[in-house]
Amino acid sequence: MKNILLYTTAVSLLILIQSCNSNPDPTERNSLTLTFDHRVGDKALTLGTDTYQNTSGEDFSVTTFNYFISNISLKNADGSTFVYPQDSSYFLVRETFPASKQITLKRIPAGDYTALTFTIGVDSLRNTMDLSRRKGVLDPGDVSHEGDGMYWSWNSGYIFLKIEGNSSKITPDPAGNQKFRYHIGGYGGYNAKTFNNLRTVTLPLGNIPAKVGPNQQPVITIVTDVSKLWDGVQKISLATTPTVMFSDYSTTVANNYAAMFRVSAVKE
């Protein structure tokens, strides 16, 4: 009788353990990684050496490519949305710094995530926040940090996207250089209204959700297609517009860079 009781108890415990394993506690948390793959159309982006061509027939090479990603959220299959803690939700992606192209989000609740949303740039609240709340990549006063010149001290604002390079179609400057420079920022203004180049992007993850669980740490690969800067919502000519800084035309570039991103893979 005692042996039967022990056997029954052991079987019950085994069933309970298996049940727990098949239905993970929704409060369990794990990490999720975003990997950014920089490309120009179907070609990998290589700084300084490779030459590409836009649909206007203009050749170009790229020497600098940086952008801010912020305010990340994830949509669950159950319809709920997890918003990543804002103080930890600012990232600077740089082609010259491979580690920056992998963003690991920690303590994500267990779930099947079907869409990813983020902002390109740094929101107006953080742009105007006390410097004590702007550390790491957002610290404009630390010349040794990862900011890489992504802040306008004269304009008190972050550069959301910076791309520089060369094109033989650009009229040479007095020094003979044929450079293009797009430094795009502007969050709507502080004391006076200006253009707003913040753009929010939502990317569906397709048929395969990003499953987060006790033993599940998915990786979402996102293609960033540089060619969309010129061949996006509106075509932009390098020869006609080689330089775009703090001007109304920067909104045209911002509309284009909102279309740069797409999900290419979701892996466990």
Nearest Cα residue to 121 out of 62, 200, 190, 195: 200
Residues near 15 by beta carbon (within 8 Å), at least 6 away in sequence: none
* Tens digit of each residue's pLDDT (9 = 90 or more) over 41-65: 999 999 999 999 999 999 999 999 9
* Tens digit of each residue's pLDDT (9 = 90 or more) over 120-163: 999 999 998 888 888 888 988 765 444 468 988 776 789 999 99
Whether residue 14 is predicted with pLDDT greater than 50 in this model: the reply is no
* Tens digit of each residue's pLDDT (9 = 90 or more) over 180-237: 999 999 998 777 788 899 999 999 998 889 999 999 999 999 999 999 999 999 999 9
DSSP for 73-127, please give it. Answer: EEEETTS-EEEPPGGG-EEEEETT-GGGGEEEEEEEESEEEEEEEEEES--HHHH
pLDDT at 144: 47
28 versus 18: which is more confidently predicted? 28
Query: Across all residues in the chain, what is the average pLDDT?
Result: 88
Whether residue 22 is predicted with pLDDT greater than 60 in this model: the reply is no
pLDDT at 19: 46
pLDDT at 3: 53
* Tens digit of each residue's pLDDT (9 = 90 or more) over 70-91: 999 999 999 999 999 999 999 9
pLDDT at 131: 82
pLDDT at 145: 47
pLDDT at 192: 76
Average pLDDT over residues 86-115: 96
pLDDT at 143: 58
The tokens of 245 are what? 């800084």
Half-sphere exposure of residue 208: CA atoms within 13 angstroms, side-chain side:
10
